[in-house]
Amino acid sequence: MPGTPPGLDPAPPQPPHAPQGPATAPFYDGQRYDATDSVGYRLFRVVTAMRREIDLRMAQHGLTDAQWRPLWLLKIGRASSPQELARELDIDGGAVTRMLDRLESKGLMERVRSQTDRRMVMLQLTPGGEAAVQAVPQVLAEVNNQFLQGFSEDEWLQLRGLLGRMADNAGTSTAGRSVQL
């Protein structure tokens, strides 16, 4: 959950980022800082609201956050091993092991030894996992569209570009990484 955005999409086309202009003065001043007016706070509120809505809708399909996210990552090919899953979900190896134990006990995925390197454990969806993950893209699309009501396509592209620039400034570019917004 820490640092994890709300829904995983299979790396949609990235809008071009606006050219970087000259350095600007800081937008915030520590002497008069109002957290509720900060971009970070507003992003946090949006992400929190999106996660809440996704959780409610996934529950209608019998899926929890700890189930749909790893299943979706396996489905879209973003992870195929416990290590990749830990990196994508930003959780430690022990938490991944416990999560995989639960998913495996529910018949949603299985661990399989790699054919090329028997030391490697690969993850794959079972038929039950394939069936469970079918609702995920529709739910994510619906929630994203709900939060983008009233936006034009140009505004949507601009928002994605601006968020991409912020991620670039943080050194965590979203290029090639799944973002759940």
pLDDT at site 27: 86
Cβ–Cβ under 8 Å, residues 136 and 128: no
pLDDT at site 7: 55
- Quote the mean pLDDT of the chain: 85
Q: Which residue has the tokens 């299985």?
A: 110
Cβ–Cβ under 8 Å, residues 143 and 52: no
Residue 176 has pLDDT above 70, yes or no: no
- Domain residue limits, the chain: 39-61+135-168, 64-128
Summarised one tens digit per residue, pLDDT across range 70-93 is: 999 999 999 999 999 999 999 999
Cβ–Cβ under 8 Å, residues 130 and 76: no
Cβ–Cβ under 8 Å, residues 37 and 27: no
Give the rounded percent of residues in the chain with a pLDDT score beyond 70: 81
The pair phi, psi for residue 162, each rounded to 5°, is: -65, -40
Summarised one tens digit per residue, pLDDT across range 108-159 is: 999 998 888 888 899 999 999 999 999 999 999 999 999 999 999 999 999 9
Residue 180 has pLDDT above 50, yes or no: no
What CATH number was assigned to the domain covering residues 64-128? 1.10.10.10
pLDDT at site 80: 93
Q: Which residue has the tokens 């399909």?
A: 61
